[in-house]
Every structure is written in structure tokens, then in C-alpha cells.
Amino acid sequence: MNIDFVSEGFPSLGPVANGSDTLSVSWDDLLWAAVTVGRPSRYYAFRHGTSSLYEALFRISALRMTVEQSSPKAWRLRRTPAARNLDPSEKGAVNYFLGLTLCKLFAEKCLDAPWLLHLDVFRDRLNPGLLSGRSRPDLVGRTRLGEWVGMEAKGRVSPPSAPCKDKAKQQAERLFSINGKQVKYRIGGFAYFKDDVLRFFWRDPQPDGVEPPNQIRLDLTEDDIWKAYYLPILEIVKAQPVAASHADVPTPIKEADLGVRVVPEVMRLVSVEKWKEAGHWCLEHKDQLVQQQAHGDGVQIIAGQSWMKPFEDRVE
């Protein structure tokens, strides 16, 4: 499948070329991004499984209900009729999660940044005055080279306007430094639809020498970062009726028709709460992760055949 996207404002010698391009993705990629981005409490959605995927697994159901392939050989993801018929508040929620998902996906695919977390994970480290309102970016993460990324994620049913792009840019710019090191990428990203086809826009405003007001400066330990990222993934696996061992076997989530696989080396380390070591193992073994068809964080999501079929809006 392909997602058309537009990039603006990225440095000329960086990994992202400005202009229009197309990203090739799979359902495995999209589901990986949906499952591994966001708040640390996301695993609770997996703890109380029901017979209905669309009731119990909100993050995955938001993706499933919003976009579909019209056939297994279709090259574009389209908005479903069910998504078009949601009320405004429901559209806002599912489109926001779609924005988070695409920001996570593009961060890994284009910036080599597989570790991306919701900034609110570290809210106890933020000045209380920074927590009011929504004037801060959604996501913070790091690249394999140790560069920091801040992203404001948006979801829209139509192409974003210039004022919306400017507002997202301003929110992203507030994340100024992590552990005294200036954030390299401060991006406003939009998942949106044009003619019901899913597309993506992102802008990376380059520093202009003027420091943004109300800067966010975070001080974090390595264990803070890696634990916040890997603990929810471990809980997803442990929460299933038959938890995965260190064997290289996907953990099935039958309600969602998918499997979660953590490469054995990473699973062994996170199982004994060696969070930093798990992250560093991934940093040092990129080629091995590629050979094992896992993402840069050591995690793989394997979509079942139902994901390649059109969404069925039905009541059970």
C-alpha cells in the first residue's frame, strides 16, 4: 500500500527531502505504529478482551474503522463509509489516533526514529504551568543516532489549512531540549483525507535564532525513556491468556486478528526489567532486526488476513 505525503521545512542535507513523495507501507507497519505509540496505559485496552474487536481495542478499532483496502490488491488506503458517518466528536477522536499512528510510522520510516512516546508520559517532569491547555506537542522520541524528535500530531477529514499548519508548528517548537541537548526535529504532522484517500503532511520548522516562549526542557534518565517505552509492550504480551515465553513465537490477539512478536533478545531483557539494555541491544543490532522482519524497537505486529478486506460495519 502507498501513502502520498508532503514534506516542508526539513534541512536540505537531512534524511527527508522536501516536496511530494510516496511511502510504501503494510498493515503490519500501520498496526505496529498504532500499538506502540501513545500513553503508557494503552495496554489496558488489551487486558479485558471481549468478543468484539471494535468495543475492546479502541486504538486498533479506530484504525480498522477509519481506513480500509477496497480489495487485497488495492494500493491506497481509503476512508470507510463508517468513518464518514461518525458524529463530529467521534471523528475527532479516531482522526487524532490516526494522526498519532502516521506520525509514529513516518518517524521510523523516514527519520530512523522507532521510539516515540506521548509527552504526557513524562508529565511529572514538566512544570505544572506547561500542563494546562493543548499548547505543547504530543510526542517525543529519539533516533538511532541519539537525536531528539518532538511531534505534534493532528488528524483531519480534509487537507489542513495554513493556520492549522502554523499552529501545529508552534506547538512542536515548544519542545526545546532533552537533557540539555536541543531537539533536532520539531514537527507538525497531519493525517488527512483527500477524495477519501489517506494522506500525510509534515513540516519541520528550522531554528530561526528566536527561542520560543514557554520552552519545554526535559531532564530524563536513560531508564526513564526505555522503561516508558518497553513496559507497555511487555504488558501487552503478558496480558494475553497464554503469555509468550522467550521463544520466538508471536503472541496472538484473537479479537484483533493479529499477533505481537518481540524478538527473543529484547523479550529476555524487558522480562527482567533491563529496559536500557533492551534499547541499546536494538541500537547495536539493526541489521539483525531487519533480518528478523522486526521494527527498530524489536517489535513486530503480524496482521491477519481480515485486515486486507474492506471494513464490515456490523452489530454483534
pLDDT in tens, 276-302: 999 999 999 999 999 999 999 999 999
The model's confidence at residue 199, banded by pLDDT at 50, 70 and 90, is: very high
Residues 269 and 153 in one domain: no
Ranked by mean pLDDT, the top range of 104-108, 155-159, 251-255, 306-310 is 104-108
Nearest Cα neighbor of 47 from 238, 227, 233, 228 is: 238
Residue 83 CB-half CA count within 13 A: 29
Residues 214 and 227 in one domain: no
The model's confidence at residue 132, banded by pLDDT at 50, 70 and 90, is: low
Q: Is the pLDDT of residue 314 over 70?
A: no
Q: Is the pLDDT of residue 200 over 60?
A: yes
The C-alpha cell at 206 is 528550522
Nearest Cα neighbor of 63 from 86, 23, 84, 35 is: 35
Contact 160, 154 (CB under 8 A): yes
Nearest Cα neighbor of 26 from 316, 307, 309 is: 307
The model's confidence at residue 128, banded by pLDDT at 50, 70 and 90, is: very low
**Radius of gyration of the chain from Cα atoms?**
19
Q: Is the pLDDT of residue 73 over 70?
A: yes
CB under 8 A, 24+ apart: contacts of 266-274: 266/230, 266/297, 266/298, 266/299, 267/237, 270/230, 270/231, 270/233, 270/234, 271/234, 271/246, 273/227
Residues 49 and 181 in one domain: yes
Close Cβ partners of 189 (under 8 Å, ≥ 6 residues apart): 99, 102, 103, 106, 151, 152, 153, 154, 168, 200, 201, 202
The reported pLDDT for the residue numbered 31 is: 93
Residue 19 forms part of a structural domain: yes
Mean pLDDT of 117-124: 80
Residues 213 and 266 in one domain: no
Residues 16 and 139 in one domain: yes
Mean pLDDT of the chain: 83
Strands 175-178 and 181-182 come out as antiparallel
Residues 128 and 45 in one domain: yes
Secondary structure class of 134 (helix, strand, coil): coil
* Range in 128-132, 229-233, 257-261, 301-305 with the lowest mean pLDDT: 128-132
Residues 120 and 260 in one domain: no
Quote the domain boundaries for residue 39.
2-220
The C-alpha cell at 147 is 537525536
The C-alpha cell at 94 is 479516531
Contact 303, 297 (CB under 8 A): no
The reported pLDDT for the residue numbered 57 is: 64
The 10s digit of each residue's pLDDT in 18-68 is 999 999 999 999 999 988 886 544 433 444 433 223 333 677 888 888 999
Q: Is the pLDDT of residue 184 over 60?
A: yes
The C-alpha cell at 128 is 505544572
Between these two residues, 20 and 311, which has the higher pLDDT value?
20
Per the structure, the count of domains in the chain is 2
Residue 315 forms part of a structural domain: no
Q: Is the pLDDT of residue 135 over 80?
A: no
Residues 198 and 238 in one domain: no
The model's confidence at residue 241, banded by pLDDT at 50, 70 and 90, is: low
Residue 314 forms part of a structural domain: no
The reported pLDDT for the residue numbered 302 is: 92
Percent of the chain residues past pLDDT 90, beyond the cut: 44
Q: Is the pLDDT of residue 310 over 80?
A: no
The model's confidence at residue 126, banded by pLDDT at 50, 70 and 90, is: low
